[in-house]
Structure 1
């Protein structure tokens, strides 16, 4: 019951944000680009070892990732390019965060963690590529694990 109440409250808040952004006439692709810029700020914070702050900035960037497509649907500005742009920017956002962690661990001379983050980065790219490739061949393909939201949550927790 509490989980449902929290979900309903979050959904209501998200709807209000989408409504406000829709009325502001900001283009959904601009929201996508702003999300990338915010993730780059988080990457710099990770690189400097400010993990707590970086985690909160990632949460803020995630808000843009959650609303850009919704704003596009509400404002009837959905385009194939917008979907493509969002997908590509999501990959760049992920890579920026991983690069921030790589810089931090390399500067701290923590070789094991450099390798670990590099492996996670490669896995992240391969999961995304594999999913996209499978969907291009098998339109109803809905298999896989650790999609982008789960990977972002793991970055924040980590």
Structure 2
């Protein structure tokens, strides 16, 4: 067994124990999803208030908080399946809350750069926020037409990992290049999904649904 497979197995065991404990509390998976949003808002507040000598420390706090929020994101679906609370609304609610969580994090970064009078990075964060939402929107709209559109690299887990790395390593200025990577690959993913949907609709000769 390699160390990566051992780590994966150990992580899966830990998550399952967390789910087992949560199942005993009778908490709703949707409540966990909403708690995850609140935790991400805390991370956004750390971003927004980061300034001067304590900026590195606040970014570090934000990164750790986002990791904590990610645990809720990983267990809500598992809990729903284990407690037989899977529903169409639950999937919808999870997707909507994920979008709010993304916007909250990027809004926190936007406030950080605005308070530092770094106009260029304010624009860059706003662009990344928009591109991230479009990655999700293009998939949702495409799947309403063609059933499946999972092409493209920059999904939400990859975006969150980049934000976490930028936050934890901002002592070395990692957040700025992380934003550039997010901007580039999110845009490429959107274009890829538009092209894929075009080719699929042409192939299937689907009528537009309005």
Q: TM-score, normalised by structure 2?
A: 0.74
Q: How does 1:89-100 map to 2 (within 5 A)?
A: 89-100=97-108
Encode CA deviations 1:19-71: one digit per residue, 9 max, x unaligned.
11111100001000100000000000011111000000000001101111110
Partner of 1:86: 94
Aligned to 2:66, the other structure's residue is in SS state helix
Kindly report structure 1 stretches of 4+ aligned residues shifted beyond 4 Å: none
Encode CA deviations 1:48-104: one digit per residue, 9 max, x unaligned.
111000000000001101111110110001111111000000000000000000001
Please report how far the alpha carbon of residue 140 of structure 1 lies from its aligned counterpart in structure 2 after TM superposition: 3.0
Partner of 2:128: 120
Kindly report the root-mean-square deviation, in angstroms, between the aligned alpha carbons of the 2 structures.
Answer: 0.8
User: How many residues of Structure 1 are paired with residues of Structure 2 in the alignment?
Assistant: 158
- From 63, 66, 81, the equivalent of 2:74 is 66
Unaligned runs of 5+ in 2: 51-57, 167-210
Q: Distance in 1 between matches of 2:98 and 2:13?
A: 25
Partner of 1:26: 27
Partner of 2:178: none
- From 107, 129, 141, the equivalent of 2:115 is 107
Partner of 1:48: 49
* Aligned partners of 1:131 and 1:144 also within 8 Å: no
Q: Distance in 2 between matches of 1:117 and 1:155?
A: 11
* Aligned partners of 1:45 and 1:100 also within 8 Å: yes
Instruction: Please identify the structure whose Cα radius of gyration is greater.
Output: 2
- Range 92-101 or range 139-148, more displaced: 139-148
Ranked by relative contact order (alpha carbons within 8 Å, sequence separation 6 or more), the top structure is 1
Unaligned runs of 5+ in 1: none
